[in-house]
A and B are shown apart, each in its own frame.
Chain A
Amino acid sequence: DTEVTQTPKHLVMGMTNKKSLKCEQHMGHRAMYWYKQKAKKPPELMFVYSYEKLSINESVPSRFSPECPNSSLLNLHLHALQPEDSALYLCASSQSGDYGYTFGSGTRLTVV
């Protein structure tokens, strides 16, 4: 299995809702990442997990809460989001050292 699987592919949520994005990989990669991408902009790094521990938080608002239950799974819990949080949320994983990332196809989130 050489893929990163993200679910759901599309999500519409209200500003008072709580929802979660899920990311899964079975390549034995030790690092997993969340990126946010607005339309016509490059992906922006949000969080990095290394060996299931949060190693980088790029000053992301607390309404985004990451979780890494095990080495294959990464969640992003969403609560009280704003319409400007609407974006494509991308998950990626990588092996150690100098190998490239494998990205999922993303979850397109719309906050109404």
Chain B
Amino acid sequence: DAKTTQPPSMDCAEGRAANLPCNHSTISGNEYVYWYRQIHSQGPQYIIHGLKNNETNEMASLIITEDRKSSTLILPHATLRDTAVYYCIAAPNTDKLIFGTGTRLQVFP
């Protein structure tokens, strides 16, 4: 599975968009990009995934560059409850997901 690189931490003001980057320059053609988040002391929560096209659901949007070497998770209107560690994972399927160190997002009032 391709290695992913994320900034260790980010801040975002409440109500503003949170844009979380992820680099996956060695991603293979059959590997999806998955995003999860983990709120303190809870199990990780699936957010969104994509292969080539941009994706949007009720939680977030995923923008994947045309060369697929990087992606951005967008939380359009961050709230205090979005404070969490966000993990970006590249994998061909969900048979085996390996978590990296993630980005700790702090949303402040």
Q: With A42-B99, A97-B93, A97-B94 as given contacts, are A92 and B43 in contact (CB-CB < 8 Å)?
A: yes
Q: With A92-B43, A101-B46 as given contacts, are A42 and B96 in contact (CB-CB < 8 Å)?
A: no
Q: With A90-B44, A98-B49 as given contacts, are A42 and B94 in contact (CB-CB < 8 Å)?
A: no
Q: How many A-B residue pairs have CB under 8 A?
A: 57
CB within 8 Å of B: which A85-108 residues? 88, 90, 92, 94-95, 97-106
Interface string of B32-73 (1 = CB under 8 A from A): 101010100111111101010000000000000000000000
A31 interface contact, C-beta 8 A:
yes
- Chain B residues near A105: list those with CB within 8 A: 42-43
- Chain A residues near B47: list those with CB within 8 A: 100
Q: How far is the CA of A43 from the CA of B43 in the complex (A)?
A: 9
Bin the interface of chain A by size.
20 to 34
Instruction: Give chain B's interface secondary structure class.
Output: loop
Closest to B91 in A: A98
- Chain B residues near A50: list those with CB within 8 A: 95
Q: How far is the CA of A94 from the CA of B93 in the complex (A)?
A: 10
The answer to whether B46 and A102 touch across the interface, beta carbons within 8 angstroms, is: yes
Q: Could you give 25 example pairs across A and B, Cβ below 8 Å?
A: A4-B43, A31-B95, A42-B99, A43-B44, A48-B96, A55-B95, A56-B96, A88-B41, A92-B43, A92-B44, A94-B94, A95-B94, A97-B93, A97-B94, A98-B49, A98-B93, A98-B94, A100-B34, A100-B36, A100-B46, A102-B46, A103-B43, A105-B42, A105-B43, A106-B42
Interface set of A (CB-CB < 8 Å, partner B)? 4, 31, 42-45, 48, 50, 55-56, 88, 90, 92, 94-95, 97-106
Interface set of B (CB-CB < 8 Å, partner A)? 32, 34, 36, 38, 41-47, 49, 51, 85, 87, 93-102
